[in-house]
Amino acid sequence: MTLRTPAFEAFVAPARPTRQIWMLLLGLLLAVVIYAFVTLVIFAVVWVVRGLPQNVIWFEELIRADTPDKLLILLVSFVGMALGPMAAVLMLHERPVGTLFGRAPVVLRDFTVAAAVAGTVLGASLIFWSWGNDAVPGLPCDRWIVLLPLAAVLVLIQTGAEELVFRGYMQQQLGARFRSPIAWALVPAMLFGVAHFDVASAGPVAPLVVISAGLFGLMAADLTAQTGSIGAAWGFHFANNMLALTLIATEGTLTGLALYKTPYAVSDLEVMRTALPFDLLMMGLIWFAIRRILSR
């Protein structure tokens, strides 16, 4: 299994002139500042629109995202995350934003293939899941249909933002600096996993969620290395999050836009000990299928 393909070498080539670690760290710092600033602006607008008296409690509950308005605002905030690495490559590395994505035709092709494969496998797994579980109703169907197009656009932005940071920027810069996949694949995947640590919602399951997210990060890193673009990882990520956020969400996570919810909570250790390995098996199957199709 070849990890550094010619496509990956072409992908990291634009990062080579400014591949110093201090440049990467400075770029990440700039990205964090931009993300925080844009998020504060969004929250400030909401604060003004909603009025001060209601906002104190509302903002405390925002992170739960258990209603459509809260989850939509949370997803909008990822615009700032997407702008961060774009600003970093323009201002610090002096290269086009497009180099973060890969060649446009490849990105579009890989995204489409990966989203189709992931959607098919996840849909089949959901049918299998429904044989042993009764989903709890979420949003009324008519309201869900109205919000679905907006939700799809925002999930596209959210997943694209995360892929730009972890695969488009970090993996690219580290791949230009180091030959070892421990640096350019494992490190971003570990950070991606840690970013999903949420003990407040997941409780004792939080470490398992981190491991699951980290393994997805490794699969996404491999797809990026194989194809030379973030398209496949982005498509995989998008299909997964569309199902998890808009079709059937795990109780205790971001349920505000879901048509259905699971009858168990993400913090239910006994259930999640079985559910997460099954999810990882499905992710592995999706990764393998995408890899085989795109490597032909």
Q: Give the domain extent around 178.
A: 6-294
pLDDT at 1: 45
Q: Domain for residue 1, yes or no?
A: no
Segment 146-171 mean pLDDT: 97
Q: Domain for residue 288, yes or no?
A: yes
* Nearest in space to 227 (alpha carbons), one of 271, 286, 167, 273: 167
Report the interhelical angle of 104-132 vs 206-227 (nearest 10°): 140
Which stretches within 94-138 are classed as H helix?
104-132
Mean pLDDT of the chain: 92
Evaluate if residue 18 carries a pLDDT over 60: yes
Run of H or E including 90: helix 78-91
pLDDT at 63: 72
Higher-confidence residue of 276 and 163: namely 163
Q: For the chain, how many structural domains are there in total?
A: 1
Residue that is written with structure tokens 């400075």 in the block: 26
Both tokens of 141, joined, read 């169907």
Q: Domain for residue 106, yes or no?
A: yes
pLDDT at 65: 81
Q: Domain for residue 147, yes or no?
A: yes
pLDDT at 105: 95
Q: Domain for residue 40, yes or no?
A: yes
pLDDT band at 60, cuts 50/70/90? low
Q: Is the dihedral of CA 20, 11, 287, 243 positive or negative?
A: positive
Q: Domain for residue 171, yes or no?
A: yes
For 202-217, the pLDDT digits (tens) are 888 889 999 999 999 9
Reported pTM? 0.93
Q: Domain for residue 51, yes or no?
A: yes
Segment 88-116 mean pLDDT: 96
Q: Domain for residue 162, yes or no?
A: yes
